[in-house]
Amino acid sequence: MKSIPFIDFGLDKDGQDWQTINDGVMGGLSDGIRLLQEESLLFKGNISLENNGGFSSLKSPYANYDLSDFSKLEIRFKTAKVGEQFSFTFECFEQWYRPYFKLPFKSTSTDWETQTLDLSSAEAYEVGRKMGIYLSDDIKPAIIRLGFIKDDKKTGDFELEVDYIKFLP
């Protein structure tokens, strides 16, 4: 198990092995890229709803992440537009069609901001549909991948720059 209380993005830091996965894997036309900045990770691109598209994601490598000791997630980030929504994701399966958990957050500024989110608010989704199941202490030890997703069905450019992710008790 890998305990991950702090992920600090930037050159010579964390994020080199994170990768983007776009809706093109299912025929969509959205695109997103990952760029490492000096002190952050930039995730940006364009969302298209054409061809049943509508998402771009940024994913950590697969590992056994032990979140048992944590109840909150702190993210320091900024976006290009006020009110831009993203979600932090938790995956328990390698198969894309299996349920995963999503914890939404929305920018309130275009400057750096820090938000603290309750892990228990992360809701399970299966192929984009809510399942009414929330991230619990029983599920936390089964997390194998973390990430961000832009999937709010709003077309156009997006930009999320992340300084760090910190898990809190």
CA 26 to CA 45: how far, in whole Å?
17
What amino acid occupies position 161?
A: E
For residue range 8-57, list pLDDT tens digits in order.
999 999 999 999 999 886 778 999 999 999 999 999 999 999 888 899 99
pLDDT of residue 86: 98
CA 56 to CA 66: how far, in whole Å?
25
Mean pLDDT, residues 62-70 taken together = 92
Which of the four pLDDT bands, split at 50, 70 and 90, describes residue 2?
low
For residue range 112-150, list pLDDT tens digits in order.
999 999 999 999 999 888 999 999 988 998 999 999 999
pLDDT of residue 3: 60
Number of domains in the chain: 1
Q: Where in the sequence is the domain holding 57, given as residue range(s)?
A: 2-168
Q: Per-residue pLDDT for 1 more than 50?
A: no
pLDDT of residue 28: 85
CATH number of residue 23's parent domain: 2.60.120.430
